[in-house]
Amino acid sequence: MTSRQTSAIAASAEPWTPVPPVGRWPRRPTQVSIVVPVYREADGIEHFCESVAGVMDATGLEWELIFVEDDSPDATMEKLRILHERRPSQVAALSLSRRFGHQASLAAGFDAAAGDVVICMDGDMQHPPDMLPHLLHRWAQGDQVVYTRRRRTERRGALKSWASQAFYRAISSISEVRIEDGSADFRLMDRLVVDALRRFGERGLFYRGLVQWAGFRQSSLAYDAPPRFAGNSSYTLRRMVHLAADAIFSFSTLPLRMSLMLGGLALAATFLYAIYVVACWLRGTAGPAGYTSLVLLVSFLGSLNLIGLGIVGAYVGRMHEQVKQRPLYLVKERLQAARPRPSLVA
């Protein structure tokens, strides 16, 4: 084990009860599917694969590792071909025809997964592989969803941490779902949960919210995320804003209600201003019609109209994408596990 891998495991250390041997679990999964979306991960994907393989082989369980390559411009797919040749019965890969995004990549992985337990995680080592036995043990004890909560991330900027906390607080306060601060797409799900998620036909996927909305028996594990093993995060500010918008517009109608409230406030302000003008006229203190007042009033009302139209347009745009019924993703290449297994693709 490299010093870098050891430090990553130490960073995620949690005073949990040690996981007992699999033979003593109340139940054992027939197969574990691990879904990993990857983009620009050529430098670290081999290390990640070997780390996961070491942890899963030690459990003695049957497992498969499904990489979903989101049309990465680097050598990620070439590395996946090599890993598939090394472990043809355990490593599979899907290469999407273009970049569809992280959430669509997860959907592709869920469609391809054959296990009665499915775990999704990132391939940058910030989701520590040594947590996998703890997730599986929770499932063995009866939990159908085991999600993780990131307490802190090494070398993460203060602004990004603050923005993440603000987003989770906002989405939890304005929507019907409650998402804990630090939640990520690192979770275990029972086959029943995965099949339920595959029934969702939404275009703007936000699995962190959908899993909470779906319910089932859930528990959580907290961890400290180590820094990335290699490369830089592909989640740019634009993509984070887009994901936040999907979350808000998919799980809340508050923006629509806010446009109505803003319209009401504008109407009230206009009415009060009219009363003020009439009062000034009755006292004989009213001056000539002011150009500035007129411009300010028209600009204020026009701005409110544009805000309301923009909010309505955001919802209508999502409806437009939904009714077109385009597929969430398209696959241009498949590297399937060598052993035969039933296909679950709809």
- pLDDT tens-digit readout, 214-227: 888 888 888 876 66
Q: What is the mean pLDDT of residues 255-260?
A: 65
Q: SS3 of 66, please?
A: strand
Most confident of 180-194, 238-252, 267-281, 301-315: 180-194
Residues in the chain: 346
Helix residue ranges, H only, the chain: 3-11, 45-59, 76-86, 102-112, 132-140, 158-174, 191-197, 207-214, 237-251, 254-283, 291-324
Does the pLDDT at position 54 exceed 80? yes
Residue 272: its pLDDT value, please? 72
The tens digit of pLDDT for each residue in 264-289 reads: 677 677 667 667 767 776 776 655 55
Residue 249: its pLDDT value, please? 58
Residue with the bigger pLDDT between 15 and 90: it is 90
Q: Tell me what the pLDDT averaged over the chain comes to.
A: 76
Distances (CA, A) of 149 to 181, 213, 220, 328: 7, 17, 7, 27
Q: What is the mean pLDDT of residues 108-137?
A: 90
Q: What is the mean pLDDT of residues 221-246?
A: 62
Does the pLDDT at position 180 exceed 90? no
Q: What is the mean pLDDT of residues 57-74?
A: 91
CATH code of 3-234+327-335, in short, is: 3.90.550.10
Q: In what order do the strands lie in the sheet with 145-153?
A: 218-225, 145-153, 183-190, 117-120, 32-38, 63-69, 91-96, 331-335
Residue 119: its pLDDT value, please? 94
The pLDDT confidence band at residue 12, using thresholds 50, 70 and 90, is very low
Q: What is the mean pLDDT of residues 166-190?
A: 71
Residue 216: its pLDDT value, please? 87
CA angle 103/227/111 to nearest 5° reads 20
- What's the DSSP call for residue 35? E
Does the pLDDT at position 190 exceed 90? yes
User: What does the domain layout of the chain look like in residue ranges?
Assistant: 3-234+327-335, 254-324
User: How many angstroms separate the CA atoms of 239 and 216, rounded?
Assistant: 29
The pLDDT confidence band at residue 147, using thresholds 50, 70 and 90, is confident
Residue 305 CB: number of other CB atoms within 10 A?
14
Residue 171: its pLDDT value, please? 59
Which of these, 22, 34, 5, lies nearest to 114 by C-alpha position? 34
The tens digit of pLDDT for each residue in 18-31 reads: 888 888 899 999 99
Phi, psi angles (nearest 5°) of residue 179: -110, 120
Residue with the bigger pLDDT between 228 and 283: it is 283
Residue 210: its pLDDT value, please? 83
The pLDDT confidence band at residue 202, using thresholds 50, 70 and 90, is confident
The tens digit of pLDDT for each residue in 281-323 reads: 677 665 555 655 665 677 667 766 766 776 776 667 666 666 6
% of the chain with per-residue pLDDT over 90: 24
- How many DSSP H helices and E strands does the chain contain? 11, 8
Tell me the whole-structure pTM to 2 decimals: 0.68
Residue 83: its pLDDT value, please? 92
Residue 125: its pLDDT value, please? 83
User: How many angstroms separate the CA atoms of 123 and 74, rounded?
Assistant: 15
Residue 81: its pLDDT value, please? 92
Residue 342: its pLDDT value, please? 45
